[in-house]
């Protein structure tokens, strides 16, 4: 069984590095990781941290209202497809709704677009390139409509 818990920024770093930044010359520590409004979730299976996600109070000029940005969503390869990401998002939606946040947005890698669509996110605009990482779409979900 997978359990979701709030974790520290430092606890996200090993999985971010392994899944998102391996052999890529970009930092795995993000601006905003330690801000008071930021929170991080971890998915645990048998007390082992298998997935992480971070939520930062950051606005995108394309959207209105109170917004948060999802960053650093990552699941260890051998645990992908077991629902950890979906469970973290479900818990985050509840936390964010409690903070009166109406838009959660992210820069989604092309490989993750279908996952986010299954969770209710929509793409916005055209795909764009992040150097060393690849093509992305801005994606968002209107939490006030859930």
Q: How far apart are CA 140 and CA 120, in angstroms?
A: 8
Residue 54 tokens, joined = 């971070």
Looking at residue 18, its pLDDT comes to 94
**pLDDT tens, 68-122?**
999 999 999 999 999 999 999 999 999 999 999 999 999 999 999 999 999 999 9
- Give the structural domain span for 72: 2-145
Q: Which residues of 51-65 are buried (b: 16+ CB within 10 A; e: fewer)?
A: bbbbbbbbeeeebee
Higher pLDDT, 24 or 104: 104
- Identify whether the C-beta of residue 92 lies closer than 8 Å to the C-beta of residue 104: yes
pLDDT at 132 over 80: yes
Q: How many domains does the chain have?
A: 1
CATH of the domain at 60: 3.40.630.30
The mean predicted confidence, pLDDT, of the chain is 96
């Amino acid at each position: 069984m997978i359990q979701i818990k709030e974790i520290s920024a430092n606890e996200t770093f090993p999985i971010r590095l392994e899944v998102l930044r391996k052999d890529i010359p970009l930092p795995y520590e993000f601006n905003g990781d330690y801000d008071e409004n930021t929170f991080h979730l971890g998915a645990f299976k048998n007390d082992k941290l298998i997935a992480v996600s971070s939520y930062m109070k950051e606005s995108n000029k394309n959207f209105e209202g109170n917004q948060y940005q999802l960053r650093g969503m990552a699941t260890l390869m051998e645990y992908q497809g077991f629902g950890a990401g979906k469970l973290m998002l479900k818990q985050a939606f509840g936390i964010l709704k409690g903070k009166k946040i109406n838009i959660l947005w992210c820069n989604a890698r092309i490989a993750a677009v279908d996952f986010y669509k299954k969770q209710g996110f929509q793409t916005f605009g055209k795909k764009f390139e992040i150097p060393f990482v690849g093509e992305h779409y801005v994606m968002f979900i209107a939490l006030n409509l859930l």
